[in-house]
A and B are shown apart, each in its own frame.
Chain A
Amino acid sequence: MTTNTSKSNQYDFTGIPIDELISKPLTAIVDAQSKMAREQVKLLLQNCFTFNGEFYQPKVIKMCITRAVIEQRGPDKPPELEQIITFFDLPLISIFPFNSLGIEAVDIHFDIDISTQYTIEIDWENIPSDTDQASSFNTDHDTEVQMLGKVTSSAFTNKKKTESISSDSSYSVDVVAAPLPLPPGLLSIIDVYTKAIEPTQMPEIEN
């Protein structure tokens, strides 16, 4: 009896769409992230800027800073510590924690149980006489049978014997993705605005 194994590699995972299994959730996440970004830009333009028909101008809020200043009241008097309140304008965009409006991390985890199956071709002509009865079983059919699912016992089909080999294996994939930090453009805008914060000494009002 000669036996030929048509598919000898029991752990050949070709045909399993691993790339699709990984990329589909990631694509969905990227879509969600882009939707969030669009809403974020909308919020930014509607609330933090005013459009004057030509360009966007940042909305500002009034802030105040209290600081201690040493004042010399007179040549004979000792210096005094005085609390000075200075008002300054701050762009509204500077106080928003925009980083929190995004997907922080993605963890995709899935397990696949893989069952492999292969066909053994048996040359029935050379089978010893004690198996002749088995060889006459279903001799009319000459089609190959593809077995789907798990087969617990062996089946005879014409000249071929299909066996289900216990070669299950588990395939585990862990994907962790995280978004990039804020885009440099937005960071630059915030940076320019925040660096421009300077107290302005207002002229004293004379009564």
Chain B
Amino acid sequence: MINQQQIPCPNCSSAIPFEPQLLLQGGRFGCPTCTAVVSIAPESIESTKSVMKAYEELKVCNTQMKGR
């Protein structure tokens, strides 16, 4: 399953594909239409990382459940 997410470009409303993990590492994602670049603000990185960690832990639990 593809994990790639999309958000609409605030500038032109085109879909900007992004990868959450890369976004949390400071990655920047460009709009394919208007070349605007989207990134996460530094002050939000830590709070988002903690939520993403909880999400990844749940994912591991689910993978173990699937394996049974």
Q: Report the Cα distance A101→B63, complex, angstroms.
A: 9
A to B contact number (C-beta, < 8 Å): 97
- Asked if B11 and A101 make an inter-chain contact with CB atoms under 8 angstroms apart, the answer reads no
Q: Which residues of B contact A32 (CB under 8 A)?
A: 65-66
Chain B interface size range: 35 or more
Which residue of B has the minimal Cβ distance to A93?
B51
Q: Report the Cα distance A197→B48, complex, angstroms.
A: 18
B14 smallest CB distance to A (angstroms): 12
User: Does A165 have its Cβ within 8 Å of any Cβ on chain B?
Assistant: no
Q: Report the Cα distance A67→B38, complex, angstroms.
A: 9
- Asked if A195 and B37 make an inter-chain contact with CB atoms under 8 angstroms apart, the answer reads no
Q: Which residues of A contact B39 (CB under 8 A)?
A: 63-64, 66
- Asked if A63 and B58 make an inter-chain contact with CB atoms under 8 angstroms apart, the answer reads no
Chain A interface size range: 35 or more
- Asked if A47 and B38 make an inter-chain contact with CB atoms under 8 angstroms apart, the answer reads no
- Asked if B10 and A101 make an inter-chain contact with CB atoms under 8 angstroms apart, the answer reads no
User: Does A87 have its Cβ within 8 Å of any Cβ on chain B?
Assistant: yes
Per-position 1/0 for B29-68, Cβ under 8 A of A = 0000011111111011001101110110011011001100
- Asked if A61 and B40 make an inter-chain contact with CB atoms under 8 angstroms apart, the answer reads yes
Q: Which residues of A contact B54 (CB under 8 A)?
A: 43, 46-47
Q: Report the Cα distance A127→B52, complex, angstroms.
A: 84
- Asked if B37 and A66 make an inter-chain contact with CB atoms under 8 angstroms apart, the answer reads yes
User: Does A62 have its Cβ within 8 Å of any Cβ on chain B?
Assistant: yes
Contact of A61 among B4, B41, B58, B59 (CB under 8 A): B41
Per-position 1/0 for A156-168, Cβ under 8 A of B = 0000000000000
Of the stretches A34-42, A72-80, A110-118, A147-155, the one at the interface is: A34-42
- Asked if B36 and A35 make an inter-chain contact with CB atoms under 8 angstroms apart, the answer reads no
Q: Report the Cα distance A62→B54, complex, angstroms.
A: 20
B50 smallest CB distance to A (angstroms): 8
- Asked if A40 and B58 make an inter-chain contact with CB atoms under 8 angstroms apart, the answer reads yes
Contact of A68 among B4, B7, B35, B52 (CB under 8 A): B35
User: Does A103 have its Cβ within 8 Å of any Cβ on chain B?
Assistant: yes
**A-B pairs with beta carbons under 8 Å apart, 9 shown:** A32-B65, A39-B62, A47-B50, A63-B39, A88-B10, A97-B4, A104-B1, A194-B7, A194-B8
A residues at B contact (CB < 8 Å): 32, 35-36, 39-40, 43, 46-48, 59, 61-68, 86-88, 90, 92, 94-97, 99-104, 194-195, 197-199
